[in-house]
Amino acid sequence: MKEGLVPATAARMVQRHRLSTRLWHWANVLLLYTLFTSGLGIFNAHPRLYWGQYGANFDHAWLELDRFPGWITLPALYNLAMSRHWHLTAAPILIVSLLAYMLWSLGNGHIGKDLLFRRGELAPAHLWRDVKDHVRLRFPRGEAALHYNVLQKTSYTAVIFLLLPLVILTGLTMSPGMNAAWPWLIDLFGGRQSARSLHFLAAFALMVFFLVHILMVLLAGPLNEIRSMITGKYRLPEEGR
């Protein structure tokens, strides 16, 4: 009875996300949105994908699509030059901001403290429990909510250290100028057309991450989550129950 007198609103407000993370997060919203939609506009100029060094209309395409519709391309009306202007303006900003974020997060301990896997986290039993919790939509409460769980760590590290570098390097591999500057790019990805295919796949992998990410925010309490990414303040879900 005495315990019941404690109001439910006494939930603790804590500082959740660092400034570097919040800035980079919203920069990515703009950049990835621009890059994805303008990228689809560029893809529409030749909606076929190949493996290897070369690939044109008479060669075998592993994927051939219709043009993406105007509501998801930038600009809405097909205009290869404008799509390229948007894409090639946003791309260098994405590279610089990713590098800055990596260095800043290394410096302030974000990578070491929050993103690196702890001992035992990758053990099958622990992984399985985390998967089950996710599927049952049982989100961590109390102190546990202040740390990324293993699936979060996996997806965030995959995006930061795998998908974004992959999408950037395959993008550069498509540039004939960069091929002359950094010939190893072509060898790394097995050809310009392979790089173009990987660029497309990496972009859609990022889109899948985005959709799951949005879903998780909606399920975990969108207002609290979005506020924590704007001001950094986060209402800690109570323990127990």
Partner 1 sequence: MTLLLSRRALVLGGAVTLAGCDRLASNERVRDTLFSAENFHKWAQRSLMRRDALAHEFRPDQISPFFRANGTANPNTPEYKTLWRNGFTDWRLRVSGMVDRPLSLSLAQLHAMPHREQITRHDCVEGWSAIGKWRGVPLSLILNAARMSSRARYIVFRCADDMGNGNAYYESIDLIDAFHPQTILAFALGDQPLRVANGAPLRLRVERQLGYKHAKYLMGIEAVESLSGIGAGKGGYWEDRAGYDWYAGI
List contacts with partner 1 (CB under 8 A): 33-34, 37, 42-43, 45-46, 48, 53-59, 71-76, 80-82, 84-86, 88-89, 92, 174-183, 186, 192-193, 196
DSSP state of 144: G
Asked if residue 233 lies in contact with residue 16, where contact means CB atoms within 8 angstroms, the answer is yes
Upstream peptide bond of 75 is cis (omega within 30 degrees of 0): yes
CB of 164 to partner 1, least distance (A): 18
Cα–Cα distance for residue pair 182/142, rounded to 1 Å: 49
Looking at beta carbons only, is 89 or 231 nearer to partner 1? 89
Cβ-based nearer residue to partner 1, 41 or 111: 41
Smallest gap from Cβ 77 to partner 1, in A, equals 8
The helix/strand/coil state of 48 is strand
User: What residues contact 194, with CB distance under 8 A and at least 6 apart?
Assistant: 50, 51, 52, 53
Indicate the residue among 107 and 222 with the shorter CB distance to partner 1: 222
Q: State the nearest-atom distance from the C-beta of 34 to partner 1, in Å.
A: 7
* Among candidate residues 218, 29, 158, the one with its CA nearest the CA of residue 148: 158
Q: Which is nearer to partner 1, 16 or 48 (CB)?
A: 48
| Comparison of 21 and 79: residue with beta carbon closer to partner 1 | 79
Least Cβ distance, residue 30 to partner 1 (angstroms): 10
Least distance in angstroms from the C-beta of 102 to partner 1: 19
Quote the CA–CA distance of 68 and 57 in Å, as a whole number: 19
DSSP 111-137: IIIIISPPTTTTSHHHHHHHHHHHHTT
- Of 85 and 134, nearer to partner 1 (C-beta) is 85
Name the residue type at position 117: F
Rounded least distance, CB 165 to partner 1, Å:
17
Tokens (6 digits) for 189: 């990805």
